[in-house]
């Protein structure tokens, strides 16, 4: 397909992945008059039921990729584990992918990701690349004697990671992560986790949403509160990190950057997600232009939209059976309910979320 930007309404946007992020991207695209084609291996996916077309096929299915390349004006993804080879293949077939191969490749490897941030002068946890238990034993003293071992690739919501309790645990920890190439990270003594959702347009314009404060439970995001209460210096530093990251990656689209704040206010970047991000769901009810519309605007070559918060928002994920409380939530006037259309409320599965708004100034006396 020829790529001329800004894409006119009626253009087709391809989305790799049919989960809730793909679903909310499709809803945002529809509001702007775009159509969406979803590529997703699983049948009856959340995004497929709001997309103009769904290709139910593996991500590397050659025919499906050909169809995407032939029919989509731009192709994006809703998750970061799309094989880089797939994006390469799409580009070879003449498709335009956004954000491109490089952000995807870096985000897929935790060592590359940390080295990328270091190269920008952005502080991260101390770390070591691990190829076996000997590496763990060698790095552990420097990393504080107790450190977090994570597979370099894949793993999310706390999966594929384990604490190494000491040198004697090296062998067992290596087994616990499946004896896969890994990263060993020093413990970060953070007081809270922050994240920033930012976007970069095709013209290089950058916009940051107000910073969110995140709380996790069992490795899964539980709540985001935004705008977080921050010093002006911290806010400026978070935005500078987002800006540097977007520019270094020549990024197009929405990115989520997670950071740890230390007791003295210093920041350590944890990771970035080259996509819309769970900690940005508060924008769905808290901003005129939410992160999904912002991503669609960016990849379609439109100017970015406003990122100001209209109210304070607390976003709470509905995980597993919590979504069974939909009746009470439906009756709660303070709850803006979002449900993802997943058929089965499996343990740990993100089924929906709720945004609760508080007008600015209320209760601030």
Give the containing element (helix H, strand E) for 248. helix 232-248
In the bound state with a copy of itself, the residue whose beta carbon lies nearer, of 107 and 226, is 226
Q: Which residues pair with 15 in a beta bridge?
A: 38, 76
The answer to the question of residue 23 lying near a copy of itself (CB under 8 A) is yes
Interface residue with a copy of itself among 123, 220, 248, 337 (CB under 8 A) is 337
Residues 6+ apart with CB under 8 A from 179: none
Structural tokens at position 283: 């924008």
User: Is 49 among the residues that bind a copy of itself (CB under 8 A)?
Assistant: yes
Site of tokens 């990849």? 299
Asked if residue 336 binds a copy of itself (CB under 8 A), the reply is: yes
DSSP structure string for 192-224: EEEEEEEEE-TT--EEEPPPEEEEEETTEEEEE
Strand partners, 224: 214, 315
Among 35, 213, 239, 261, binds a copy of itself (CB under 8 A): 35
What are residue 93's phi and psi, to 5 degrees?
-80, 0
Nearer to a copy of itself, 35 or 193 (CB): 35
Contact status: 206 vs a copy of itself (CB under 8 A): no
Among 43, 63, 263, 331, binds a copy of itself (CB under 8 A): 331
Measure the CA–CA gap between 320 and 211, rounded to whole angstroms. Answer: 27
**Judged by CB under 8 A, does residue 262 bind a copy of itself?**
no
The one among 1, 15, 26, 87 contacting a copy of itself by CB under 8 A: 26
Residue 350 in contact with a copy of itself, rule: CB under 8 A: no
Give the Cα separation of 132 and 159 in Å (integer).
19
Of 8 and 189, which has the nearer Cβ to a copy of itself? 8
Residue 52 within binding range of a copy of itself, rule CB under 8 A: yes
The token pair at 291 is 């992160």
Residues that bind a copy of itself (CB under 8 A): 6, 8-10, 23, 26-27, 30-35, 48-52, 285, 288-289, 297, 302-303, 305-306, 310-311, 323, 326-327, 330-331, 333, 336-341, 343, 352, 357
């Amino acid at each position: 397909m020829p790529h001329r930007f800004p894409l006119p309404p009626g253009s087709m946007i391809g989305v790799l992945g049919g989960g809730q992020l793909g679903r909310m991207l499709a809803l945002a695209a529809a509001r702007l008059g775009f159509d969406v084609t979803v590529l997703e291996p699983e049948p009856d996916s959340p995004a497929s039921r709001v997309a103009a077309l769904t290709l139910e096929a593996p991500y590397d299915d050659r025919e499906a990729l050909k169809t995407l390349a032939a029919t989509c004006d731009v192709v994006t993804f809703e998750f970061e584990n799309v094989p880089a080879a797939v994006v390469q293949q799409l580009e070879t077939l003449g498709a335009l992918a956004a954000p491109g191969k490089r952000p995807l490749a870096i985000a897929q490897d935790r060592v590359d990701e940390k080295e990328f941030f270091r190269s920008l002068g952005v502080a991260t946890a101390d770390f070591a690349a691990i190829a076996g238990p000997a590496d763990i034993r060698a790095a552990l003293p420097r990393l504080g004697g107790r450190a977090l071992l994570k597979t370099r690739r894949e793993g999310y919501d706390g999966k594929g990671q384990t604490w190494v309790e000491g040198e004697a645990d090296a062998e067992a920890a290596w087994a616990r992560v499946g004896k896969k190439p890994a990263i060993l990270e020093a413990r970060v003594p953070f007081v809270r986790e922050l994240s920033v959702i930012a976007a970069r347009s095709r013209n290089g314009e950058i916009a940051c949403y107000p910073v969110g404060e995140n709380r996790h439970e069992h490795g899964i995001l539980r709540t985001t509160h935004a705008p977080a209460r921050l010093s002006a210096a911290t806010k400026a530093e978070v935005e500078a990190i987002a800006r540097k990251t977007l520019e270094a990656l020549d990024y197009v689209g929405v990115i989520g950057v997670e950071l740890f704040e230390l007791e003295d206010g210093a920041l350590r970047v944890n990771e970035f997600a080259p996509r819309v991000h769970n900690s940005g769901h508060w924008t769905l009810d808290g901003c005129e232009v939410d992160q999904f519309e912002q991503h669609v605007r960016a990849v379609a070559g439109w100017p970015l939209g406003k990122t100001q918060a209209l109210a304070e928002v607390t976003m709470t994920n509905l995980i597993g059976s919590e979504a069974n409380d939909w009746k009470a939530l439906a009756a709660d006037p303070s709850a803006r309910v979002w449900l993802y259309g997943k058929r089965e409320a499996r343990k740990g599965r993100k089924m929906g979320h709720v945004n609760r708004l508080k007008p600015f100034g209320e209760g601030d006396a």
